[in-house]
Amino acid sequence: MLLLHYYLPQKLIKDNQKMCGIVGYLGKQNAAGILLEGLKRLEYRGYDSSGLAVFEDGNLIVTRRVGRVKELVAAVKKAPSQSSLGICHTRWATHGVVTEQNAHPQLSSDGKITLVHNGVIENYNTIQKFLISKGYTFSSETDTEVLCNLIAYHYAKEKEPKEGSRFAQSVRKAILHVEGTYGLAVLCADCPNEMVGARHGSPLILGVGREEILLASDVAALVSRTPEVVYLNDGEVVQIVGTDFTISTLDSEDIKPIINTVDWDISEGELGDFDHFMLKEIFEQPEALENAMRGRFSLDQSTAKFGGLNLTPQDLRQVDRILLCACGTAWHACLTIEFLIEKYARIPVEVEYASEFRYRNAPLDKNTLVMVVSQSGETIDTLAALQESKRKGYTTLAITNTVGSTIARESDGGIYQHAGPEIGVASTKAFTSQLMIGAMLALFLGRLRDMSFNDGSELVTGLKKIPDLVREITQHCAQIKSIAKKYTKKQDFLFLGRLSMFPIALEGALKLKEISYIHAEGYPAAEMKHGPIALVSEECPSVFFATEPDTLAKVVSNMQEVKARKGQIIVVRSANCPLPEGLADDEVIIPECHQAATPILASIPVQLLSYYIAVERGCDVDKPRNLAKSVTVE
């Protein structure tokens, strides 16, 4: 029997989810507590609504709530469960209002099937019409409910097979009819000791513990229970019965699982003494930068080395063009990496939005090397760009922070960031880690070409100083907090920089938009006169980057144009770039460093500025409205 806490019929529309958290548990212990603990660790993946389904006294109990996971926790506490099997979900919706009936788990109208889902069922409308003709009804606005009813339809038709499970066969048959993406954890009312999972285009990971098996969309939900995980591939189905599991293809061919060990201290995902994960991760950047460099310089300290590129020096010398693909903050990192590689390795570089590259037929030279950048390793557009590149026969490398991610597994080689888990939605340490790896990659490629030993050694020395210089900047957070208070009520900002500072201007503007909801734009400083200067006023402050003596006079000229129009100026400048007295209203001085590392140091003050402005405005820094940590569904 299926017990529901509500029933509200509504018209069906597509429920396009950007990123959601899935956790499933089958073992010997209380499922609800374990599921909710895992869900709290995945709340950064979605926080519009959440839900949980468990077995209790032969019944399938479903609880769903709008809002943060704490609302679900409170509801579950009112009716404690002793079940050892369950699934749960935290949702981030783009289509379909945020209501309890749209939350997951979704349920079939015959009460036999419940599931949680991350993804989009693109042909949901056709399937829904067919199911309505068969007597199935719908109570939510979600495409997920269509899949749930489809599995129930096949389960009702399916006879008990000679081998395997009627339940698992029903899931397999249903998803053969599905167009789109999915990461699923499914329960059946007739199977109190069984759970089925499947993935296509959306991450799903199996946790193998002692007398317990877990399913999740992110290892963050698993590591407190077990470090042993199996990363499911597209087109794979996992059947969990008791404490055993089998993995097979959609064609029922058995697959031997590869068990990986997650090297992640659970404390890395804890808030500790910080008020927000974003602030914690800003202060973790020195260690993240050290980890990016660890073991990656040659014995003579003149170049970098990367063990996972899977390309010989001879292969790399044939490269005459590099294409970088990414989205969001990672795209800004790519713009900086473009500057560094072209300056130090003299290789032409082009930067593409991954979301555009996957759809346009871009002509690529045969000696083009494609590199994709994604912190999560699951960004759907970046993954699609990687797959499109490989489909056309191009060597495709990846820079990612997540070992075992889909992008890491599907690329021809790559570089792990080793920055540790990043929980805050606004990327900080992952971004500067990408900049560090970009500088090291420029060094590595430059030394393969015409960079001298002395220039290489100088660059290595400069990069190794950066973690301590970042620590020095974070010690001035009180000054940056004081500056932030002055600008809390502003509704518009301009961020302006030249050369390698232009991408940092873009990133600074994005950070402010993401977490404080202030409109902000980043531009090359010289482009200000070509339109943006029209915005300059007492109510629109400008953040300038003055970090290079060679362009300092030009930046000063741009600043004077702003002052002439009564605009307020905040400047982030290097210690070796003095300004005329009184030109800037506020300034943050960063230490002098090697030019290749300047973008890293210049990023820290604007991260802190955005953070403190958002806090002063009362914004939820770690969970900004309308955003999720990573876009895993188009």
What residues are annotated to the active site?
Answer: 20, 629
Residue type (1 letter), 8: L
- Ramachandran quadrant class, 39 (left: phi over 0; alpha: psi -120 to 50; beta: rest): alpha
Helix (H) or strand (E) holding 203: none
10 Å CB burial of residue 1 (0-12, 13-18, 19+) is: exposed
> Residue 140 carries which side chain, given as an amino acid letter?
S
If you search the block for the tokens 């292969």, which residue do you land on?
315
> Could you count the other beta carbons within 10 Å of the beta carbon of residue 119?
26
CA–CA distance, 214 with 193 (Å, rounded to integer)? 13
261's CB contacts (< 8 A; 6+ apart) are 227, 228, 229
DSSP class per residue in 255-301: E----EE----GGGGS-TT-SSHHHHHHHTHHHHHHHHHTT-B-TTS
The rounded distance, in Å, linking the Cα atoms of 341 and 320 is 12
Q: Could you tell me which of 121, 160, 163, 161 has the C-alpha nearest to residue 138?
A: 121
- 501-516 helix and 328-344 helix, angle to the nearest 10 degrees: 170
Q: In what order do the strands lie in the sheet with 349-353?
A: 349-353, 321-326, 368-374, 396-400, 413-416
Structure tokens given for 545: 């980057």
SS3 of residue 110 by DSSP: coil
**Token pair 């129930």: residue:** 152
Q: At what angle do helices 453-464 and 466-474 cross, to 10 degrees?
A: 30
How many Å apart are CA 455 and CA 446, to the nearest integer?
10
How far apart CA 602 and CA 134 sit, in angstroms, is 62
Distance CA 512, CA 281 (A): 16
Q: In this structure, are strands 106-107 and 519-524 parallel, antiparallel, or unpaired?
A: unpaired
Going 141 to 144 to 145 to 146, the CA torsion angle's sign is positive
- Alpha helix locations (H) across 86-237? 124-133, 143-157, 166-176
The HSE-up count of residue 460 (CA atoms within 13 Å, CB side) is 22
Q: Is 310 left (phi over 0), alpha (psi -120 to 50) or beta?
A: left
Coil, helix or strand at residue 558: helix
Short-list 22, 11, 86, CA closest to 50: 22
Round to whole Å and give the CA distance between 326 and 388: 14
User: What residues does 65 pair with on adjacent strands?
Assistant: 50
Q: How many CB atoms within 10 Å of residue 304?
A: 23
Residue 13 CA to residue 31 CA, distance in Å, equals 32
162: burial class by Cβ within 10 Å (0-12, 13-18, 19+)?
exposed
Pairing of strands 180-188, 113-121: antiparallel
